[in-house]
Each structure stands twice: as C-alpha cells, then as structure tokens.
Amino acid sequence: MPEESRLSLMNYRLEQAQACLDAAIVLTENGAYKDATNRSYYCVFHAMRAVLALDSYDSKKHSGIISVFRQKYIKTGVFPVELSDTIEAAFQARGSSDYEDFFVISKEDVQQQIENAKVFLTTIKKYIETIQN
C-alpha cells in the first residue's frame, strides 16, 4: 500500500477512535454504561488499527489486531507495557457488556475504562506525531 494511502487510513482510524471516545463520554453522561463500555473499547481498538495501518496490517479478528500490536509495539518497547493491561481490560469489559446476560457495570468502572482509553489514544497520537516529524 502506498505511503499516502497508509497515512490516510491511519488518520481515518484515529478519527474513528476519537469518535468512539466522545460517544463513550456522552453515553456515560446519559447512564448508558454498557454502551459506553463498548465504545471505550472501540476507541482502543481503532487506535491500535491506526498504528498498524502504517505497517499495512489489518485483521478481521480482534485477537489478531491485539496480538500483532502487542508483538510489534509493546514487546519491543515502543509503547509501555501498561498499555497491554489497558487493552486486556477494555477487551474483557467489552466482551462482558456485549455478550453476558444481566451484565452490570458501575459508573465508576466505566469512567475508569474511559480514562484508560483517553490515555491510550493520547499515547498513540503522540507516537504518530513523533514518527511524522
């Protein structure tokens, strides 16, 4: 994939990540905690995909995105290992909120998910700025 296409895709995915984060905040303000959990996860997911677009990598499976991101960017020290914990927590919470009957999550737990997603997205954006300069 040509560099211009990779950069366009990366920027599009960053916009998706930001839109998901914004939606998670609004949903939380309106008491839709399960949906906010989903959106905060997708912020993290699209942020990972934004970075992987630079490598021309994508996968139809979330586990594939997570695995390659961890392998190429966390295990190599590009990003701090704490981001792996953020990914895992967001992935688990999203799975529970989407698929478990009677799943309940507190406002405080959702707010923590959102804060983690903000930190994740900010870290990704800073990385992208450094490699573009």
Residue 106 has pLDDT above 90, yes or no: yes
Which of 53, 43, 42, 21 shows the shortest CA–CA distance to 131?
53
In single-letter form, the type of residue at position 7 comes to L
Q: Model's pTM, two decimal places? A: 0.95
pLDDT digits 0-9 by tens, 49-83: 999 999 999 999 999 999 999 999 999 999 999 99
Q: At how many degrees (to 10) do helices 107-132 and 3-29 cross?
A: 160
Domains assigned to the chain: 3-132 (1.20.120.330)
What is the C-alpha to C-alpha distance for residues 88 and 42, in angstroms, rounded to an integer?
12
Q: How many residues does the chain have?
A: 133
